[in-house]
Structure 1
């Protein structure tokens, strides 16, 4: 058995293979562009990230399994019908939602996020970035009305485009501030917040 592991990180994408005989080998790596539209804002081109992921997988040759590591809190919004991103990926280190999360804290909402998701209210986590997309990207609102908007962390975008499945796992979902640690499901109260 041969596995390729893809590390899609903040500054680049790398891949490695591991064979059942214990051979571990670096395969390839790519750097991607950092986009800074305003002070404190950090974005990536989702198509560039996906291209690097697919190129990293292809460079490994025939494999039996693929594992993808991602920038946990980085988010992507896309059209479910076309798979086309509607905005740049908003990177985990982006702080455009500082004022929004500060207002929620002032209103006492952090008690809910801490008790249900185990996370403080902070622009670092995905939920406020996802809300920002809905509030500030006109196409997001149009797609939401048409039930075609997909919002997720970067690996959910990769999975949707590579496999046709819109999904995540609990380890990444737990970094969104939208999942209950008790039930391992999306929490209605957090999503409403």
Structure 2
């Protein structure tokens, strides 16, 4: 296959047109991925081609239509390739999240867990699916107060000071284990991304 990029200074549309014409010059027929000519268009072309006065224009028009069809085929192939690449990247990063050795949570500003990985489920003794919909405050020892209010306040202070908005707090679990929660605002700003790490220090039992 010949070079389909052409002049590196040409715009995307110019390169696409050159690629399409190059394929046609090599004898490649449109694959009709971008659509087919309608009956009315075919009849008009036939009428023009049958008239000696308009035959040349009809052939030029037909060639132009074929070029457009090949362009649509090329665009369709590129879209499919892009979709496949995005799908593979999504699968890759989802696997990294789910299989990470650290406990990850996504939590709304109100404390509702919207996503958790396998390590987070192991930390709280729940499956990742069971964690979804639970409130983070219900998973820690009673009397701790509103964890999200503390996290949001700390992150807000850091952001106001020009520092990365990452908050850190320690909480105790009902079984007296202690964990460190590091949280930062999600790009959408409507939730927090959290990493939870169990410490070697246990809460004192009264």
TM-score by length of 1: 0.22
More relative contact order in 1 or in 2 (CA 8 Å, sep 6+)? Answer: 1
**Computing the radius of gyration over CA atoms, which structure comes out larger, 1 or 2?**
2
Which of the two has greater helix per residue?
2
TM-score by length of 2: 0.21
